Amino acid sequence: MKIAVCVKQVPDSWAEKKLRDGDAILDRESVEGVMNELDEYAVEEALKIVEANGSGEVVVVSMGPDRAAEAVRKALSMGADSGIHLADASLAGSDAVATSYALAKVIDGRGFDLVLFGSESTDARMSVVPAMVAERLGLAQLTFANKVEVAGGSVTIDRVSDNGIETITATLPAVVSVVEKINEPRYPSFKGIMAAKKKPVETLSAADAGLDTAQIGLGAAWSKVDSFAARPPKAAGVVVQDEGNGGIAIADFLAAQKVL
């Protein structure tokens, strides 16, 4: 059982995030980077599958600037066996389509039985890359799983959908994305952190990965930001005294905010 887990280094989900003036790319320098929280669930699930299977290998795959190596290390300290870090200046500004292209290129041909993802990243929140990678690799897509079972060369998941739960099954290899609550990601033990320092991480450039530079980076992005504006800082809220119509006042407020 050989599992790839794709992880992304994202700005801390609680920090204020900004787009850079000029190229409208997320300003990743100004905020603390962390491993995308949902990817922790994917790493945990991969480790669990290998543990249940009795043997196997978990390879972390990440694309991003040098700092993304931290996310790879984090996954290694949780227990993954090795890492692949795709880092190249020409990748900066890649959109989801380009990202899926690059990831698929890296994953393809390495003999993975499973490719695991978190169901979304906390910065872009698009939830499209797993589907795109499945499409590109021609693999079965089993996404938004809150339960994954691997047995006898096939994988079965419970997909969380708007209408309930769908059970989906496919023979391996397959692409799986997991939602929060599928498991409780382990906290890396100190032993794990130490061991991670010695685990192999393959750093690839765009050329190493055989990427066509015309298909990656900001220049190749197929969606362009025309303009952006930071919302004015959240104005102090309105607090009213209930004079018999407090409930209606809230309903009016919710309607104005389009949540009702």
Partner 1 sequence: MESDMVLRLIVGLALTIGILAFAGRRMAFLVKLARSGKPASGRLTDPTARVEAEAVEVLGQRKLLKWTIPGIAHVFAFWGFLVLGATILEVYGALFISDFAIPIVGHWSLVGFLEDLFGLLVLVGISIFAILRLRNNPEKRGRWSRFFGSHTSGAWIILFMIFNVVWTLFLYRAAQYNTGVFPFMDGGAFVTETVASWLEPLGETANEWLETIGIWLQIAVVLLFLLIVLHSKHLHIGAAPVNVFTSRRPNALGPLLPMMYNGEPLNFEDPPEDALFGKGHIAEFTWKGYVDFMSCTECGRCQSQCPAWNTEKPLSPKLMIMNLRDTMFAQSDYLLAAKGKHPGLGEFDEAALNSLSPEVRAEVERPFIGSREGSEHSAEDGYTFDGHRSTGADLAIIDEEALWNCTTCGACVNQCPVDIEHIDHFIDMRRNQVMIASDFPTELNGLFKNLENKGNPWGMNASDRNAWIGEVDFDVAVFGANGEDTIPADVDYLFWVGCAGAFEDRAKRTTKNVAELMHIAGVKFMVLGEGETCTGDPARRAGNEFLFQMQAAQNVEVLNEIKATKIVVTCPHCLNTLKREYPQLGGNYDVVHHTELLNDLVKAGRLTPVNKIDKTVTYHDPCYLGRHNKIYTPPRELVGATVENTVEMERSGDKSFCCGAGGARMWMEEKIGTRINQNRGDEAIATGAKRIAVACPFCSVMLNDAVTSRQQEEGRAVGVEVVDVSTLLLNATKS
Partner 2 sequence: MGEVLVLVEAADGSVKKVTTELLTLARTVGEPSAVWIGPGYTDAAAATLGEFGAAKVYVADGAQYVDHPIAPKAEVLAKLVADVSPVAVLVPSSAEGKEVAARLAVRTNSGIITDAIGLTSDLVATQSIFGGSTVVQSKVANGTPIITVRPNSTAPVAAAGAAARVDVSVDLSEAATKAKVTGRAVAQKGGRPELTEAAIVVSGGRGVGAAEGFGVVEALADALGAAVGASRAATDAGWYPHTFQVGQTGKTVSPQLYIANGISGAIQHRAGMQTSKLIVAVNKDAEAPMFELADFGVVGDLFVVLPQLTEEVNKRKG
Where on the chain is the footprint of partner 1 (CB under 8 A)? 12, 14-16, 32, 34, 184, 186-194
CB of 198 to partner 1, least distance (A): 11
- Measured in whole angstroms, how far is the alpha carbon of residue 229 from the centre of its chain? 26
CA distance 157 to 136: 21
Q: Which among partner 2, partner 1, none contacts residue 89 (Cβ within 5 to 8 A by kind)? A: none
Options 69, 92, 140, 193; binder of partner 2; rule CB under 8 A: 140
Which of 54/164 has CB closer to partner 2?
Answer: 164
Residue with tokens 């599992």: 3
The pattern of x and - marking residues 58 through 97 that bind partner 2 according to CB under 8 A reads: -------------------------------------xxx
Which of 18/110 has CB closer to partner 1?
Answer: 18
Tokens of residue 45, six digits: 């699930």
Q: Which among partner 1, partner 2, none contacts residue 125 (Cβ within 5 to 8 A by kind)? A: partner 2
Options 187, 197, 214, 222; binder of partner 2; rule CB under 8 A: 222
Instruction: Report how far apart, in Å, the C-alpha atoms of 255 and of each of 124, 242, 252, 259 are.
Output: 27, 18, 5, 6
Q: Which residues from 144-203 bind partner 2, rule CB under 8 A?
A: 144, 156, 159-171, 174, 179-181
CB of 118 to partner 1, least distance (A): 16
Residue 237: partners with Cβ closer than 8 Å, 6 or more residues away: none
Options 141, 150, 196, 217; binder of partner 2; rule CB under 8 A: 141
Options 9, 62, 94, 143; binder of partner 2; rule CB under 8 A: 143
Q: What is the DSSP letter of 58?
A: E
Which of 52/255 has CB closer to partner 1?
Answer: 52
- Measured in whole angstroms, how far is the alpha carbon of residue 188 from the centre of its chain? 19
How many CB atoms are closer than 10 A to CB 158? 19
CA distance 146 to 134: 19
Phi and psi at 164, nearest 5°, equal 145, -145
Q: Does 24 bind partner 2 (CB under 8 A)?
A: yes
Helix 68-78 and helix 37-53, axial crossing angle in degrees, nearest 10: 30
Q: Which residues from 201-220 bind partner 2, rule CB under 8 A?
A: none
